[in-house]
Amino acid sequence: MVRAAFVVLPLGLVLVALLGLALGSAAIPIKAVALWPFDASVLTAQQKLIMDNIRLPRVMLGLMVGAMLAAAGAALQGIFRNPLADPGLIGVSAGASLGAATMIVLGGEHLAGPWALPLAAFVGAVLATLAVYGLGRRHGMVSPPSMLLAGIAVNALAGAGIGLFSYVGDDLQLRQLTFWTMGSLGAAGWSTLTPSLLPIGLSLAGLLALATRLDVFALGEREAFHLGLDPRLMVRLAVGLTCLGVGTAVAAAGPVGFIGLVVPHLVRLVLGAGHRVLLPASMMLGAILLVGADTAARLLAAPAELPVGLLCSLLGAPFFLWLLRR
């Protein structure tokens, strides 16, 4: 089963990436798309711009964000030994949204710069995670249950802050905030992709490296300690890497729900709970789901677009239910 999955998933990844490049509201012949990497002259100038500046960075960002969200969800569910944990729980998404809301409403003219909004979102994500981590400690020891509760409280607080900014904001800011919180890959370009590569790459590699230790951690904190693991360091690493990677992903694409929570469950149902399989398989499935949903989002309402988070749930939730009932 596992071996089959590690053939099917990479194939799916390649297929969905190719579909994402080949399809879109602008009708570019598939043949031209196929020849484009070898001979750019098969495309008109306009089509080349669409491929170079819109579809390629968008598909790449989708792959990275999807993989990141799913990997973070798998790692956090492991660390907290709680099936409902997802990157939102340690405050990343809510913190990023609050950072974005602050910038949208108070930023004024500064918002004109392309960096302002992602940077504010990233800073918000980091601050919220630090708050959850700090509040979740008891007598110097990290306790996952306290961190879960602290996460819920920080989420509520950030929600209140967003509500406050929505009240103060004018109509335009309110709309902007609403659309930001829906999550979208529509703003993807090289300027959003390039700065995301390093932090997301580091985070993915780091989480993969933790896989074996996450398996040990699953036995329980005390057991892990006796097996020579430092639980405090584990929590710190998993939370820190998640914050870095998901903070970057949310800054680039806004909060996209569903993937972080459900993709690890999907993988676990089919391939089991071992993290050395779970983490890489979740990454691939997350990337496939997000890029697939984004491609559908671009096609279904063309020339307009649907929010990609919506389509992720629409495509993923019935599949998940089917697996559960099987």
Q: Measured between alpha carbons, how far is 192 from 293 in angstroms, rounded to an integer?
A: 20
Residue position matching structure tokens 């306009």: 46
**DSSP at 138:** E
Count of residues binding another protein (CB under 8 A)? 41
Read off the tokens for 270.
């089919």
- Told to check if 179 binds another protein by CB under 8 A, we report yes
| Interface of this chain with another protein, residues 144 to 173, rule: CB under 8 A | 167, 170-172
Among 4, 34, 49, 160, binds another protein (CB under 8 A): 49
CB of 325 to another protein, least distance (A): 14
Question: Could you tell me which of 93, 92, 120 has the C-alpha nearest to residue 106?
Answer: 120
Q: Measured between alpha carbons, how far is 67 from 51 in angstroms, rounded to an integer?
A: 22
| Interface of this chain with another protein, residues 107 to 136, rule: CB under 8 A | 112, 114
Stretch that binds another protein, among 16-24, 93-101, 138-146, 221-229 (CB under 8 A): 16-24
| Interface of this chain with another protein, residues 190 to 219, rule: CB under 8 A | 192
The mark string for 267-306 relative to another protein (x by CB under 8 A, - otherwise) is: ----------------------------xx-xxxxxxxx-
CB of 209 to another protein, least distance (A): 31
Contacts of 172 (CB under 8 A, 6+ apart): none
How far is the CA of 31 from the CAs of 23, 27, 279, 295, in angstroms?
12, 12, 35, 18
CB of 198 to another protein, least distance (A): 20
Q: Measured between alpha carbons, how far is 132 from 58 in angstroms, rounded to an integer?
A: 32
Is residue 253 within 8 A of residue 100, CB to CB? The reply is no
Give the residues lining the site for another protein (CB under 8 A). 8, 12, 15, 19, 23-27, 46, 49-50, 53-55, 112, 114, 167, 170-172, 175-176, 179, 184, 186-187, 189, 192, 295-296, 298-305, 307, 319
